[in-house]
DNA sequence: TAGAATCGCCAC
DNA sequence: AAACGTGGCGATTCTA
């Protein structure tokens, strides 16, 4: 067993144990560098290390890996720190993660393991050692929760250590080569990162408690493992199907492009019939505006909502809109997505940012599997492999149900209990007419209001969407709030609170803070809209995250994995024979998750079994 | 010439 | 969109 005393090796261990939150930052810095560590490279080392660790209920933890991709790199070091001592397991020297005691320690939810960005380490440990780490405390997620939407706060380990411990951290070794012979400095660096987690958690936990964020934090910590597993599982894509789709789109794109250039050039005299179409770049809004001006069409911009009203009048504009939609699909969802197919698994392993939006929603990138066009052509390319099925489940109108539960609006609650088409019920309540007399236009208006009202939709916005005058829209909004006066009061209070207290909370207690110039009317109005929307959108995120946790745990006995999560929808891939059982389980767990946050209105989940990602 | 800003649009 | 919220991302255009 190799014993190391870092930097000031002369100091004894009694001194080194003194990791106390109340210590000054300077003292802390010294103490950190004094915590001794032991390199574990044999069975005997591991056994004695486990004896030393086993009494602790909170451990600093970290891993060093030979790369960032779990499927193409290996875990070299596992570092575990108690306040007294750190242990660096060199897994190349001795495979300690094959030993039951260490596995049990990591899997034990009663023993807290503190990581920074635990998703990374959990993926590595899950992939290489089939080990589900529980009892996670993630200082990255905690820091994001505390930031509560302040985008200026950074959350790298260095930034967080600086903020909470007022201490600089050396990350120079992070990208060093962890695959060969390691230097003493590398071991020391590795040990330090784990040791650092302990005081960092103390400082962060104190802050979480001050802000009453413990429950929200627990929800997030529980969610790391399901999300790590989801990323590892990845989503299968039918490459041939996708290529065909892209080829068809390219054909349409090329034809539309030529036609469009011709139509947009009607103001330019063409020298001869055999000339190439003019070299106008139809992807350039500036050039399109110029071309339209030559044709006598004046537009402020070329966004679809600006062009839409003119499309009936001018075929060139209709063509432009058509071209745009194809161009968008091609550029954003073209062959580029195939670059994300993993060479080892043949699947797409997107990157989910657990706290991606200020309200707590997840975000997804590389590629963004939350924005695949919702058309059969696209979605049918995401298919279950042979012998397997996709089980797709989504909440029905979850945000409206949160709004109803939160506001306790009698009419909205009743409408949700009725089980009737909600937009029809809303229309009937707005216009004071029986359900069967609701017209298409009335239902459309009610639908827009149901969807838009909690985002702070105003009369001009509604008018633009349902093709009526702002005055008429104003009247419709009045009718809506007359029918749902509890919703009106709730949203007003939410908006006021956001402006006055500069913060809101979701149902889990997640905090969202607002910074704005109170003297700026536009900024106040924007904050009011956020005050209405953020708690509801964020509570929806609370619910789906809770659902991920319940489902991940419940799925354990099955040959099944969560493969995507799109705000109110969860996609699972399962063995064909189990699909029906899984669908029922999904439904049950998603309802149970929602029940933890909303209890006074029904919650409905639509679950279906399919070969592809199709509804 | 690389990165930032802008425009535009997909998802929920 | 002096505007209904949250994101990611691609092409063009601007900037240092």
Three-state helix/strand/coil letters over A316-359 = HHHHHHHHHHHHHHHHHCCHHHHHHECCCCCCECCEEECCCCCC
Residue at the smallest CA–C1' distance to nucleotide C5: A455
Residue A210 CA distance to nucleotide B8 C1' (Å): 42
Chain-wide mean pLDDT for chain A? 89
Least confident of A262-266, A377-381, A406-410, A567-571: A262-266
CA A533 to C1' C3, whole Å? 15
- CA of A301: nucleotide with nearest C1': B7
Dihedral of alpha carbons A223, A226, A227, A229, sign: positive
How many Cα atoms sit within 13 Å of A49 on the Cβ side? 33
pLDDT-derived band of residue A2, with 50, 70 and 90 as boundaries?
A: low
Q: Is the CB of A470 under 7 A from strand C?
A: no
pLDDT score, position A5 = 46
CB A525 within 7 Å, strand C: yes
A372 touches strand B (CB under 7 A): yes
Give the CA-to-C1' distance from A285 to C14 in angstroms: 14
- In angstroms, how far is C11 C1' from A146 CA? 36
Find the Å distance, CA of residue A329 to C1' of nucleotide C9: 12
Average pLDDT over residues A373-386: 93
Q: A223 vs A51, A220, A362, A395, CA distance in Å? A: 30, 5, 11, 19
Measured between alpha carbons, how far is A436 from A442 in angstroms, rounded to an integer? 12
Least confident of A8-17, A325-334, A427-436: A8-17
Instruction: Calculate mean pLDDT across residues A376-395.
Output: 95
* Angstrom distance, A361 CA to C7 C1': 9
Q: How confident is the model at residue A69 (pLDDT cuts 50, 70, 90)?
A: very high
- Taking the C1' atom of B10, which residue's CA lies nearest? A371
Is A287's CB less than 7 Å from nucleic acid strand C?
Answer: yes
Rg (CA), chain A: 28
What does DSSP say about strands A569-575 and A560-565: parallel, antiparallel, or unpaired?
antiparallel
List all residues 6 or more positions away from A111 whose beta carbon is below 8 Å from its beta carbon. Answer: A56, A57, A58, A59, A105, A135
Closest C-alpha among A381, A399, A377 to residue A390: A381
Q: How far is the CA of A326 from the C1' of C10 (A)?
A: 13
pLDDT digits (tens, 9 = 90+) for A463-500: 988 888 999 999 999 999 999 999 999 999 999 999 99
- Assess whether A515 (CB) lies less than 7 A from strand C: no
- Which run of H or E residues covers position A4? strand A2-4
**Which distant-in-sequence residues (6+ apart) come within 8 Å of A425 by Cβ?**
A415, A418, A435
Question: Measuring CA to CA, which residue among A401, A324, A358, A331 is closest to residue A144?
Answer: A358
Mean pLDDT computed over A309-323: 82
Nucleotide nearest to A320 (CA to C1'): B8
Protein chain A, residues 58-87, with a C-beta closer than 7 Å to any atom of nucleic acid strand C: none
Between residues A310 and A212, the one the model is more confident about: A212
Nucleic strand C under 7 Å from the C-beta of A283? yes
Please tell me which residue lies nearest to nucleotide B12, judged from CA to C1': A567
Q: How confident is the model at residue A268 (pLDDT cuts 50, 70, 90)?
A: low
A14 touches strand C (CB under 7 A): no
Confidence of residue A281 (pLDDT cuts 50, 70, 90): confident
pLDDT of A161: 94
Q: Which residue has the tokens 């050396």?
A: A170
Q: How far: A298 CA to B8 C1' (Å)?
A: 19
The mean per-residue pLDDT over the stretch A189-207 comes to 96
Å between CA of A1 and C1' of B5: 57
The answer, yes or no, to whether residue A350 has pLDDT greater than 90, is yes
**How does pLDDT run across A90-100, given as a tens digit for each residue?**
999 999 999 99
Q: In this predicted structure, what is the pLDDT of residue A174?
A: 66
Q: Does strand C come within 7 Å of the CB of A588?
A: no
**Is the distance between the Cβ of A301 and the closest atom of strand B smaller than 7 Å?**
yes
- DSSP line for A233-286: H-B---HHHHHHHHHHHHHHHHHHHHHHHHHHTTTSPPS-TTSPPP---TT-HH
Integer distance in angstroms from CA A374 to C1' B10?
A: 9
On chain C, which bases lie within 7 A of the protein's CB atoms? 1-14
Tell me the per-residue pLDDT of A104-142, one tens digit each, with 9 for 90 and over: 999 999 999 999 999 999 999 999 999 999 999 999 999
Provide, in whole angstroms, the distance separating residue A271's CA from nucleotide C11's C1': 30
Question: How far apart are the C-alpha atoms of A498 and A534, rounded to whole Å?
Answer: 10
Q: Are strands A86-90 and A37-40 parallel, antiparallel or unpaired?
A: parallel
**H-helix or E-strand containing A287?**
helix A285-294
Q: Give chain A residues 374-433 with Cβ within 7 A of strand C.
A: none
pLDDT score of A615: 85
The string of pLDDT tens digits covering residues A534-580 is 999 999 999 999 999 999 999 999 999 999 999 999 999 999 999 99
Question: How does residue A305 score in pLDDT terms, banded at 50, 70 and 90?
Answer: confident
A458 CB neighbours strand C below 7 A: yes
The CA–C1' separation of A340 and C8, in angstroms, is: 15
> In terms of C-beta distances under 8 Å and separation of at least 24 residues, what long-range contacts does A511-520 make, across chains too?
A511/A145, A511/A146, A511/A148, A511/A211, A511/A213, A511/A216, A512/A148, A512/A149, A512/A358, A512/A359, A512/A538, A513/A148, A513/A149, A513/A150, A514/A149, A515/A150
- Rounded to whole angstroms, the Cα distance separating A264 from A280 reads 8
The Cα A348–Cα A337 span in angstroms is 9
Q: Name which of A142-146, A256-260, A346-350, A509-513 the model is least confident about.
A: A256-260
**Helix-, strand-, coil-residue percentages of chain A, each rounded to 5:** 55, 15, 35
A448 touches strand C (CB under 7 A): yes
String of DSSP letters for A423-485:
HHHHHHHHHT--GGG--HHHHHHHHHHHHHGGGT--HHHHHHHHT--HHHHHHHHHHHHHHTH
Q: How many CB atoms lie within 10 A of CB A523?
A: 15
Separation of alpha carbons A359 and A494, rounded Å: 14
Strand C close residues, chain A 190-249, CB < 7 angstroms: none
A6 touches strand C (CB under 7 A): no
Q: What is the mean pLDDT of residues A142-169?
A: 91
- Cβ burial, residue A458 (10 Å; 0-12/13-18/19+): middle
- Region A450-471: mean pLDDT is 89
Q: Given a cut of 50, is residue A288 above it in pLDDT?
A: yes
What residues are paired with A114 via a beta bridge?
A60, A137
A453 closest-nt by C1' vs CA = C4
State the pLDDT at residue A297: 84
A573 touches strand B (CB under 7 A): no
Q: Is the CB of A284 under 7 A from strand B?
A: no
Provide the positions of strand B that have an atom within 7 A of a protein CB.
7-12
């Amino acid at each position: 067993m190799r014993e190391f005393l870092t930097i000031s090796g002369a100091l004894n261990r009694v001194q080194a144990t003194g990791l106390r939150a109340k210590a000054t930052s300077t003292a802390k810095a010294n103490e950190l560098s004094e915590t001794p560590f032991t390199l574990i490279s044999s069975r005997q080392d591991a056994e004695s290390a486990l004896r030393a660790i086993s009494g602790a209920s909170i451990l600093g933890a970290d891993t060093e890996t030979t790369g960032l991709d779990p499927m193409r790199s290996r875990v070299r070091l596992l570092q575990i720190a108690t306040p007294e001592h750190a242990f660096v397991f060199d897994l190349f020297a001795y495979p300690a993660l094959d030993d039951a005691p260490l596995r049990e320690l990591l899997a034990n939810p009663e023993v807290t393991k503190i990581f920074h960005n635990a998703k990374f380490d959990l993926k590595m440990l899950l992939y290489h050692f089939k080990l589900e780490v529980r009892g996670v405390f993630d200082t990255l997620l905690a820091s994001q929760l505390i930031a509560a939407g302040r985008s200026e706060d950074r959350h790298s380990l260095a930034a967080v250590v600086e903020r909470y411990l007022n201490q600089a951290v050396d990350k120079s070794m992070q990208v060093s080569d962890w695959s060969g012979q390691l230097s003493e400095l590398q071991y020391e660096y590795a040990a330090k990162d784990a040791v650092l987690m302990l005081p960092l958690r103390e400082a962060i936990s104190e802050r979480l408690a001050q802000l009453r964020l413990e429950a929200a934090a627990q929800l997030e910590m529980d969610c790391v493992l399901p999300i790590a597993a989801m990323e590892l599982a990845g989503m299968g894509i039918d490459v041939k199907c996708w290529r065909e789709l892209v080829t068809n789109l390219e054909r349409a794109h090329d034809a539309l492009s030529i036609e469009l250039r011709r139509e947009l050039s009607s103001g330019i005299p063409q020298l001869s019939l055999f000339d190439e179409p003019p070299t106008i770049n139809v992807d350039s809004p500036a050039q399109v505006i110029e071309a339209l001006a030559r044709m006598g069409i004046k537009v402020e911009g070329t966004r679809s909502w600006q062009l839409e009203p003119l499309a009936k009048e001018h075929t060139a504009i209709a063509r432009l809109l058509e071209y745009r939609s194809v161009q968008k699909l091609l550029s954003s969802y073209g062959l580029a997505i195939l670059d994300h197919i993993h060479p080892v698994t043949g699947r797409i392993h997107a990157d989910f940012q657990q706290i991606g939006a200020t309200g707590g929603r997840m975000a997804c990138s590389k590629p963004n599997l939350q924005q695949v066009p919702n058309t059969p052509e696209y979605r049918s390319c995401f298919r279950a492999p042979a012998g397997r099925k996709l089980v797709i489940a989504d909440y029905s109108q979850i945000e409206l149900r949160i709004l109803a539960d939160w506001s306790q609006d009698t009419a909205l609650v009743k409408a949700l209990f009725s089980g009737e088409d909600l937009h029809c019920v809303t229309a009937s309540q707005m216009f004071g007419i029986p359900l069967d007399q609701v017209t298409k236009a009335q239902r459309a208006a009610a639908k827009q209001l149901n969807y838009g009202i909690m985002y702070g939709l105003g009369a001009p916005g509604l008018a633009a969407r349902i093709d009526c005058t702002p005055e008429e829209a104003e009247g419709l909004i009045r009718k809506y709030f007359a029918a749902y006066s509890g919703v009106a009061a709730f949203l007003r209070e939410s908006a006021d609170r956001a402006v006055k207290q500069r913060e809101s909370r979701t149902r889990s207690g997640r905090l969202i803070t607002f910074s704005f110039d109170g003297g700026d009317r536009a900024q106040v109005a924007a904050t009011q809209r956020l005050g209405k929307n953020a708690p509801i959108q964020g509570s929806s995120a609370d619910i789906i995250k809770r659902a991920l946790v319940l489902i991940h745990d419940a799925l354990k006995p099955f040959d099944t994995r969560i493969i995507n999560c799109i705000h109110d929808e969860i996609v699972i891939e399962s063995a064909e024979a189990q699909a029906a059982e899984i669908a029922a389980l999904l439904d049950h767990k998603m309802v149970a998750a929602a029940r933890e946050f909303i209890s006074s209105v029904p919650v409905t989940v639509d679950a279906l079994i399919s070969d592809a990602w199709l509804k």
